[in-house]
Structure 1
Amino acid sequence: MKKFGSSALDRRAFLTGVATAGMAAVASSAFAQQSDIGDILSAPKRGNWDDQFDARSTSRGKVASFQPIASPETVSFIENAINTYSQIVGNGGWPTVPGNVKMQLGVVDPAVSVMRKRLIIAGDLSQSAGVSNSFDTYVDAAVKRFQSRHGLPADGVMGQYSLAAMNVTADVRLGQLQTNLERVRKLASEDQGARYVMVNIPAAQIEAVEAGRVAQRHTAIVGKIDRQTPILDSRIHEVILNPYWTAPKSIIQKDIIPLMRKDPTYLEKNKIRLFDERTREEVSPESVDWSTDDAVKLMFRQDPGKINAMSSTKINFANPYAVYMHDTPSQGLFNKLMRFDSSGCVRIQNVRDLNVWLLRDTPGWDRQTMEATIASRVNTPIAVTNPVPVHFVYVSAWSTGDGVVHLRDDIYEMDGQKALSIGTNT
């Protein structure tokens, strides 16, 4: 995959942002950056984020919605949110929540009353709940609602990431909404297609949209800071079941060659075969001098199977960046707080559901046939009868109405607010 964009940052923590001038920087995340080759080595159990939280502590709408981001309704709702946030800023914003105690259900501390005020102002907690020092079930539900709106695991615990997101100032959030209003307005004005797939990069989320409603929503993993997923428009023309995976030269040099020096059986264990790029003839690993980087001149191709880096599926669409969408054997990565781990391509959770949706008009490809084909481990390219438009977009703030404002980190620093980008204060 080709690199899109660049950054000196090689790791980031979530929303290290800024509540007031003088506020100490929030510690950056210690999560490990995992290379694509790591996907070959392990395949943790599939997991899900709880994005469907229905707050009981407020009369406002549900966080989950079938409304697409690229819609005139979203434009209107963002405009309403801007009016609301302008009033909040005009009234002095919201207070900074102290970080001296880990707040969760059952805690009694003066910091809880400050957090209650913060949640009430943003509409996550009803005013009738009051501003006591008790972290009760109403506060627990309000915190979960806040976390869901910010793309955080809705566990009700105020850890460093939730605290950092909560302490981004109201005026910064207002600016974020204003910036993204123009993006969504442009998207809504364009003909996306009756059926289309939209990858929202900062949300690490995919929408499959049909007849103006989200038919499917998928958690995604997108590009690292220094290997960014590009913004693009194309059409999905092919779904490959049981794909081959060809290792990029960067991974060959940085990962595979060092691993072969330690374990000469590594390629065999991981079902990776070598080919001469010119003649396409297979090359024996024993004939390669692994003490040098000469192996970079060869093609490293992994056979289809459970440990294949793309697992069951590769989804192709024409683009100048050599990126695509695919499955992964490492389903546990979808549980990560920061899902910016790829080399530019997009990994999709529950990709087989999307396959069925994409191949709906392609004769002979129902769910049963697809599953049987995957089980066969035979490489099977399928031309999509009616190619489906796909759009990679960058929207870090939007609203689904009724006071539900979604806010994400400006992972690639495109919003023009340093307070919203990760790693600013590290």
Structure 2
Amino acid sequence: VSHPAVQALRQRLAITGDLPREAGMSSAFDSYVDGAVKRFQARHGLPSDGVLGEFTLKAMNIPADVRLQQLNTNIVRLQTFPEDLGRRHVMVNIPAAYVEAVEDGSVATRHTAVVGRLSRPTHLVNSKIYEVILNPYWTSPRSIVEKDIMPLMRKDPTYLEKNAIRLIDGKGNEVAPETIDWNGEAPNLMFRQDPGKTNAMASTKINFYNKNGEYMHDTPQQGLFNKLMRFESSGCVRVQNVRDLSNWLLRETPGWSRQQMEQVIATGVNTPIKLATEVPVYFVYISAWGMPDGIVQFRDDIYQMDGNAELALDTTAGMEQPVQ
């Protein structure tokens, strides 16, 4: 395609080093421009499709002084990091929506993640991972019982049974759903989902110390990891290929090879495993950073913490309401 506007695009991409100067300033959207747009998209956390869509255009139109301010803001955040993060540690970067397992200064595994939405943000923590649970139970928060499960039970009295959710009273006894008035107030009972394929946490739950009841986990909704905006949980972090992360976490815990882990998951039996050595975990908010090769990365300011409205992202439009 040839269009006069491509000259302005070439100039913009050349200034930020995404397009080699020798590519020239013609009006042709050629392979040089296609590659430059993809490079720009990759360092802004956008799908590298070479298409100048709404989000790519928005990122390109943020002024350089605003980006400089964003970098300065994040330098201050980086300076608050502990000097020694630990030989083995896990880094969860919320704006980037990814998880990295780091060992001896190198990334051992990197995982796409789904983090909390603006109205229910994932909290920043410095903590330690102490446990991996295979085939976890999922206990529904009170808010989901009231807003989701009660109306669903009015429509379909078999909903709990279909989703393997049991009602447990304060003494640990199971309560039959048919004894509850689903048109009244939500009962003061635990709504606990059995392990299995329908479980909201699927195969794995990773626990770390925190006061917010948050954790990392698997999900039966694997398609969520393909989405552009992965900011729609209620605070917990869903991790793609979580078994790779669990395998790395359990490597120093005797008796837990990948094969043994998979065998236990296949049984469907709830199995909590304490880590032999607790692994530091850092939930951080870094929306701009430089890479060792000199390339600068930027992400949307999803929780509006960078102090400039141009950097924020409206994540409410068209969002489905998550289960948890």
Query: What residue in structure 1 maps to residue 217 of structure 2?
Result: 326
Query: What residue in structure 2 maps to residue 138 of structure 1?
Result: 32
Matched, 1:250 2:143: yes
Given that residues 202 and 219 in structure 2 are in contact (C-alpha distance below 8 angstroms), is that contact kept between their aligned partners in structure 1?
yes
Query: What residue in structure 2 maps to residue 423 of structure 1?
Result: 314
Given that residues 102 and 108 in structure 2 are in contact (C-alpha distance below 8 angstroms), is that contact kept between their aligned partners in structure 1?
yes
**TM-score normalised per structure 2:** 0.95
Per-residue deviation at 1:422? 1.8
Query: What residue in structure 2 maps to residue 289 of structure 1?
Result: 181
**Cα distance in 1 between the residues matched to 2:236 and 2:223:** 17
**TM-score normalised per structure 1:** 0.73
Q: Using CA pairs below 8 Å that are at least 6 residues apart, which structure has the higher relative contact order?
A: 1
Per-residue deviation at 1:186? 2.7
Query: What residue in structure 2 maps to residue 38 of structure 1?
Result: none
Q: State how 1:245-394 maps to structure 2 within 5 Å.
A: 245-276=138-169, 278-295=170-187, 297-394=188-285
**Cα distance in 2 between the residues matched to 1:342 and 1:366:** 30
Q: Which runs of no fewer than 5 residues in structure 1 stay unpaired?
A: 1-106
**Cα distance in 1 between the residues matched to 2:143 and 2:257:** 37
**Cα distance in 2 between the residues matched to 1:401 and 1:111:** 33
**Cα distance in 2 between the residues matched to 1:414 and 1:155:** 29
Query: What residue in structure 2 maps to residue 87 of structure 1?
Result: none
Letter in structure 1 aligned against 2:32: Y
Q: Classify the secondary structure of the residue corresponding to 1:175.
A: helix
Query: What residue in structure 2 maps to residue 176 of structure 1?
Result: 70
Q: State how 1:19-98 maps to structure 2 within 5 Å.
A: none
- Identity level (%): 64
216, 219, 225: which one pairs with 2:112?
219
Given that residues 102 and 109 in structure 2 are in contact (C-alpha distance below 8 angstroms), is that contact kept between their aligned partners in structure 1?
yes
Q: Classify the secondary structure of the residue corresponding to 1:237.
A: strand
Query: What residue in structure 2 maps to residue 209 of structure 1?
Result: 102
Given that residues 123 and 403 in structure 1 are in contact (C-alpha distance below 8 angstroms), is that contact kept between their aligned partners in structure 2?
no
Query: What residue in structure 2 maps to residue 167 of structure 1?
Result: 61
Per-residue deviation at 1:116? 0.8
Q: Classify the secondary structure of the residue corresponding to 1:294.
A: coil
Bigger proportion of residues as strand: 2
Bigger Cα displacement from structure 2, 396-405 vs 147-156: 396-405
Please give the per-residue CA displacement for 1:49-78, whole angstroms capped at 9, x wherever unaligned. Answer: xxxxxxxxxxxxxxxxxxxxxxxxxxxxxx
Per-residue deviation at 1:271? 0.7
Please give the per-residue CA displacement for 1:333-386, whole angstroms capped at 9, x wherever unaligned. Answer: 001111011110111000000011000011110000000100000000000001
Query: What residue in structure 1 maps to residue 126 of structure 2?
Result: 233
Q: Which runs of no fewer than 5 residues in structure 2 stay unpaired?
A: 318-324
Letter in structure 2 aligned against 1:170: A
88, 95, 108: which one pairs with 1:195?
88
Letter in structure 2 aligned against 1:288: I
Q: Which runs of 4+ in 1 moved over 2 A?
A: none
**Cα distance in 2 between the residues matched to 1:143 and 1:293:** 54
Per-residue deviation at 1:182? 1.4
Query: What residue in structure 1 maps to residue 321 of structure 2?
Result: none
Provide the aligned length of Structure 1 versus Structure 2. Answer: 316
Letter in structure 1 aligned against 2:280: P
**Cα distance in 2 between the residues matched to 1:416 and 1:205:** 23
